[in-house]
């Protein structure tokens, strides 16, 4: 299992309970929360099978997910991961004992799943900070908004060009 670690000033000591774990899948990032002793909590499809790669896709289609406690190495599989408590500057993490207690209440529970408003990143940030946030979703929505504006501008320009040509004929 490959590992990314971006902190250069201190030696890598592994995740600590309450840390957010970002797992790099081929086309998206999956998120989990480290519980300790090699275990994480994360959302998986209700009918999870052996394929880790399709997990989020199955949850998207069903609109439901199951919260599971699993070994980090099993969730990561052949992908890479890193500890990413990126929202700590914006939100104050809850005390670790509260994060773990809240997380354990969800184990084996079925929860609703929605890519834009209630995904795996929302779930783990809600546990760590008390508020579900997803920069991944915000970035996607921003990119879609920009693409829509650009396509709209090209459509208007094409319409104006077409009318200009009609007037010349």
Q: What residues are annotated to the active site?
A: 30, 120
- Residue 162 is predicted with a pLDDT of 66
62: pLDDT strictly greater than 90: no
Collapsing DSSP to helix, strand or coil, 107 comes out as coil
Q: Where are the domains of the chain?
A: 1-133, 137-169
24-52 burial code (b ≥16 CB/10 A, e <16): ebeeebbbbbbbeeebbbbbbbeebeeeb
DSSP string, 13-37: ----TT-EEEEE-SSSEEEEEEEET
Find the range with the poorest average confidence among 52-56, 83-87, 163-167.
52-56
- Residue 165 is predicted with a pLDDT of 67
pLDDT tens, 15-29?
999 999 999 999 889
Average pLDDT, the chain: 79
pLDDT tens, 83-128?
999 999 999 999 999 999 999 999 999 998 987 678 999 999 999 9
- Residue 52 is predicted with a pLDDT of 46
Q: Are 141 and 99 spatial neighbours (Cβ–Cβ below 8 Å)?
A: no
Quickly name the fold that domain 1-133 has.
endopeptidase fold (from Nostoc punctiforme) (3.90.1720)
Within 8 A by CB and 6+ apart from 33, the residues are 18, 19, 20, 21, 40, 41, 42, 99, 103, 124, 127, 128
As given in the structure block, the two tokens for residue 144 are 């879609």
Within 8 A by CB and 6+ apart from 11, the residues are none
Residue 90: closest CA among 66, 125, 140, 40: 125
Within 8 A by CB and 6+ apart from 57, the residues are none
pLDDT tens, 134-147?
876 544 445 444 54
């Amino acid at each position: 299992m490959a590992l990314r670690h971006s902190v250069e000033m201190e030696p890598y000591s592994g995740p600590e309970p309450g840390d957010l774990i970002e797992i790099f899948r081929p086309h998206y990032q999956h998120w989990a929360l480290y519980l300790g002793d090699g275990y994480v909590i994360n959302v998986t499809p209700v009918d999870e099978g052996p394929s880790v790669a399709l997990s989020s896709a199955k949850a998207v289609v069903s609109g439901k997910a199951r919260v599971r406690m699993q070994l980090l190495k099993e969730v990561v599989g052949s992908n890479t991961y890193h500890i990413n408590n990126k929202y700590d500057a914006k939100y104050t993490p809850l005390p670790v004992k509260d994060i773990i207690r809240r997380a354990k209440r969800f184990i084996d529970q079925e929860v609703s799943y929605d890519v834009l408003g209630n995904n795996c990143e929302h779930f783990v940030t809600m546990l760590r900070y008390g508020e579900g946030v997803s920069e991944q979703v915000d970035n996607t929505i921003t990119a879609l908004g920009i693409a829509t504006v650009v396509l709209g501008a090209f459509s208007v320009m094409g319409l104006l060009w077409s009318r200009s040509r009609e007037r010349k004929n």
